[in-house]
Amino acid sequence: MSSIKRLLVCGGSGFLGRRICEQAVAHGWTVTSLSRSGASAFKDKIPKWANQVDFKSFDISKASSDELQPLVESSDAVVYSLGILLESNYYKTFAKSQSPLEGISSVVQKWNRNPLKHRIDDEISYELMNRDLAVRLAKATSESATITKPFLYISAAGEFPGIPQAYFKSKEQAESSILAIPSLRPIFLRPGFMFDPANSMTMTIAMGLRAIGTVNSMLGGNAPIISREVLKPLSTSVVAGAAIKALEDESVHGVIAREDLINLAKEASFNA
């Protein structure tokens, strides 16, 4: 039986965050989302579940500890699903492409040309978004309670051609720093590329990656440019389902890679 009733989702309006909010509401949890816009991300047709989420406008990078504290204190579990650099850039790049392969290739070229282009400005870096803010929030979560609370961090699997190592390194560093924080149940989900039926572009990319994966398998699985994890995209619903199950099952902690992630999502839907 889960002791979670109130969930805080940092980045709850995002591509993955909104699915986590959706499934948490379906689970009967009270959900608060933090994002700079404070909006649900649905412009026209707002789904029923979104009306049940408290979408707060809150810039985590600018918040003081005093502002963070009450938010984590009033939550039984915290999810960190922030991401700004990788996603915003590759969605735009793929959107201009004629085919998935062209999309992948243009992303690779763009990122190989100037990896620093990922930086929206000097203030926002992989280290800040992927590591420092997450660690700060995890510390605040640990200090906010007398009981051990779950803290779920969305990490990433494998490598993607052209994406700077700094992205993956900042994720790894976040994982090890959060692991060292006492009185916390850390959970690190490591999905590869994610797709969502509501975003047709990501469906096309997923098909492209699967096609490359099939060719790769036919060639003996030796394609050097891309990791196998990335060639097996996951849906946001599967990752969100795994997140909910991992949060409520007190025996789950540490790194959750692809296969475990799928198993947790299956358990979540079985118990739904």
Ligand X SMILES: NC(=O)c1ccc[n+]([C@@H]2O[C@H](COP(=O)([O-])OP(=O)(O)OC[C@H]3O[C@@H](n4cnc5c(N)ncnc54)[C@H](OP(=O)(O)O)[C@@H]3O)[C@@H](O)[C@H]2O)c1
Q: Tell me which residues touch ligand X (CB under 6 A).
A: 11, 13-17, 34-37, 58-61, 81-84, 86-88, 154, 156, 191, 193-194
The beta strands (E) that lie in the chain are given as: 6-10, 30-35, 53-57, 77-80, 149-154, 184-189, 194-195, 234-235, 254-256
Nearer to ligand X, 26 or 91 (CB): 91
Pick from 235, 232, 239: which is nearest to 261 by CA? 239
Quote the least distance from Cβ 151 to ligand X, whole Å: 14
Between 24 and 156, CB nearer to ligand X: 156
In the complex, least distance from residue 146 CB atom to ligand X, rounded to whole angstroms: 27
Q: How far is the CB of 79 from ligand X (least distance, A)?
A: 10
Kindly list the distances between the CA atom of residue 128 and the CA atoms of 12, 99, 134, 171, 254, in Å, as whole numbers in the listed order: 18, 33, 8, 11, 22
Compare residues 42 and 250 and give the one whose CB is closer to ligand X: 42
The pair of structure tokens assigned to 212 is: 């490359």
Least distance from ligand X to the Cβ atom of residue 5, Å: 23
Residue 251: partners with Cβ closer than 8 Å, 6 or more residues away: none
Q: Which is nearer to ligand X, 4 or 41 (CB)?
A: 41
**DSSP E strand boundaries for 37-120:** 53-57, 77-80
Tell me whether residue 106 is exposed, middle or buried, using C-beta atoms within 10 angstroms of its C-beta: 0 to 12, 13 to 18, 19 or more.
middle
Going across the sheet that includes 6-10, the strands are 53-57, 30-35, 6-10, 77-80, 149-154, 184-189, 254-256
Please say which residue, 32 or 81, places its beta carbon nearer to ligand X: 81
Considering the complex, what minimum distance in angstroms separates the CB of residue 238 from ligand X?
12
Question: Smallest gap, in angstroms, from Cβ of residue 15 to ligand X?
Answer: 3
CB-nearest residue to ligand X:
14
Which C-beta is closer to ligand X: that of 27 or that of 171?
Answer: 171
- Considering the complex, what minimum distance in angstroms separates the CB of residue 104 from ligand X? 13
| Residues 75, 69: Cα–Cα separation, whole Å | 10
Q: Vertex 138, ends 267 and 244: CA angle to 5°?
A: 15
130 or 142: CB nearest ligand X: 130
Token readout for 166 is 């700094």
